[in-house]
Structure 1
């Protein structure tokens, strides 16, 4: 490992079927007012809402609700949440839901006491937090984003046609997260599978960078093999606890800042995918799956050594009698077959992208430099066009 780095992660995790009980250990650490943040109401149908409210009230908390967080949280919703948090002087934000709810909660936590427009300060100028932060706790009901153990927050501005993520520091990480795989059983199949690919994409964005012999790459290969194995089981039997628990744990470790250590990292699939989301509001994981094959086939020649390793170590491609290019290509072919097997979206046309959107999507995709090839605008357009086939 050639790079210097520091590492810390302040989020405390409680994992397993009884993990919700540990809310009773965490809640006494915070003041009386709790902003309960959740999405469209599925937690009420499942009974989780009632369980959490009962625990909150038994701990003497005053509960204020912020419901209706959408899959791609908007800047308008952020302003609404900030007002609710500030008007009620809340001491803790408790996010109950998937990654979008956790992302939104962190955005509210840093924005409530911001003296400027938080969209301008945090998502356009990418400035650090210099104001009061409301602590966040999470109860996860859908896996994929890894937002439960990192400082990331993604907000969409439809008027500007931008979907932007800001990676905040340790001070914004959730203070604690409850991880009960059973809570993920109610997620619809489409959303579940989209989450699976979001996990895979997180790993690949970090894997396909660097040329040194890096411990992080060995960890990532193990995470990918576990995910591939368990996701196939979960697609056939969504209530297989062992598969869902392995996937939940893999999702958390795929983006909790551990495996990027010593890495440059890529993230162009996410940049393009997020720009697609700004135009279509499509499910995040599916925006990633729809462009991944075109993107990775385009950059494969520039990182051939790693694509060869990926094919052999993750997809068990037999290298005997084959060129490096043939090995790498076979690995990507196997990846594509797996993606089709679990019913991922493979074309951006299926997400509502039209030809007249492509140039705007390319303009909205931030160009990063950590991968094997730094794309220009025309190359992003080419990837998008190849993703429409």
Structure 2
């Protein structure tokens, strides 16, 4: 490994069936006022809401609810959450839901006491947090983002046609997260498989970078193989505990900063995918699926050795009688076959993308330089055109 780094992760995890029983001991560490953040109401249908509220009441907490967090949390919703948190002087924000709910909770935690516009300060200027931060805890009901153990937070500004992710420091990480795999059993198939690919994409964004012999790459190959195996089981048997618990654990380790250590990392698939989301409000994991194959085929010649390794070590492509390029292409073909097997969206038109949007999406895609090829706007447009042909 060539990189130098400092590693720290302050989030405490409670993992496994019935892990919600650990919530009371965490609640005891915080003041009386708790802001309960959740999405569209599915947690009321499956009983999670009732169980959480019961524990909050038993702990003597005053609960202020902030419901209706959407899959791509908006700036308007962030402003609403900040108002609720500040007016009620909340001591803890408890996010109950998937990655968007956790992302949103972290955004509110840093923004409620921000003295200027948090969108300008934290998402456009990317300034350090210098105001009071409200602690966050998570009860996870959907896997994919890894938001339960990182400082990431993505907010969408529809007026500006911008969807921007901000990675905050350790002080914004959730203080604790509760991960019960059974909470993911009832998730609709579309959201489930979108989450699976979000996990895969997080790993690939970090894997396809660097040329040194890096331990992180070996870890990621193992995570990918486990994800492929367990996801195939889960789509056939959504309540297979072993498969769903493996996937939940993979999702956390895919983006809790560990496997990024010592690496440059890429993230261009996410930059383009998020820009698509700003235009279409499409499901995040599906935007990544539509972009990934065209992008990786575009950059493959510049990182051929890693794409060859990916094909052999992850997809078990036999190298005999093949050139390095043929091996690498076979790996991406195997990945495409797997994606179609899961039912992922590969054509951008299915997400609402059309030719009139391409220049705007490209313009809204932040260009990063950590991968094997630094793109220009014209290349992004060409990649987007390929998504419309899939």
**TM-score class, shorter:** over 0.9
- Rounded Cα–Cα distance in structure 2 between residues aligned with 1:314 and 1:186: 29
Cross-structure match for 1:178: 178
- Post-superposition Cα deviations, 1:12-49, rounded to whole Å, max 9, x if no partner, equal 00000121000011000000000000000000000100
Cross-structure match for 2:381: 381
2:331 is equivalent to residue 346 of structure 1: no
Q: Give the deviation of 1:186 after TM superposition.
A: 1.5
Q: How many pairs does the alignment contain?
A: 389
2:314 is equivalent to residue 314 of structure 1: yes
2:204 is equivalent to residue 230 of structure 1: no
Question: Which residues of structure 2 form unaligned runs of 5+?
Answer: none
- Rounded Cα–Cα distance in structure 1 between residues aligned with 2:235 and 2:74: 30
The correspondence of residues 153-168 of structure 1 with structure 2, limited to 5 A, is 153-168=153-168
- Rounded Cα–Cα distance in structure 1 between residues aligned with 2:217 and 2:139: 29
The correspondence of residues 220-259 of structure 1 with structure 2, limited to 5 A, is 220-259=220-259
- Rounded Cα–Cα distance in structure 2 between residues aligned with 1:99 and 1:147: 5
2:43 is equivalent to residue 39 of structure 1: no
- Rounded Cα–Cα distance in structure 1 between residues aligned with 2:278 and 2:126: 18
The correspondence of residues 295-374 of structure 1 with structure 2, limited to 5 A, is 295-374=295-374
Cross-structure match for 2:123: 123
- Rounded Cα–Cα distance in structure 2 between residues aligned with 1:18 and 1:244: 15
Q: Give the deviation of 1:105 after TM superposition.
A: 0.1
- Post-superposition Cα deviations, 1:109-128, rounded to whole Å, max 9, x if no partner, equal 00000000000000000111
2:277 is equivalent to residue 277 of structure 1: yes
- Rounded Cα–Cα distance in structure 2 between residues aligned with 1:273 and 1:260: 20
- Post-superposition Cα deviations, 1:65-108, rounded to whole Å, max 9, x if no partner, equal 00000000000000000000001000000000000000000000
2:8 is equivalent to residue 8 of structure 1: yes
Q: Give the deviation of 1:301 after TM superposition.
A: 0.3
Structure 2 length-normalised TM: 1.00
Question: Which residues of structure 1 form unaligned runs of 5+?
Answer: none
- Rounded Cα–Cα distance in structure 2 between residues aligned with 1:181 and 1:286: 22
* Dislocated runs of 4+, deviation >2 Å: none
Q: Give the deviation of 1:321 after TM superposition.
A: 1.2
The correspondence of residues 280-295 of structure 1 with structure 2, limited to 5 A, is 280-295=280-295
Structure 1 length-normalised TM: 1.00
C-alpha RMSD of the superposition = 0.3
- Rounded Cα–Cα distance in structure 2 between residues aligned with 1:342 and 1:170: 35
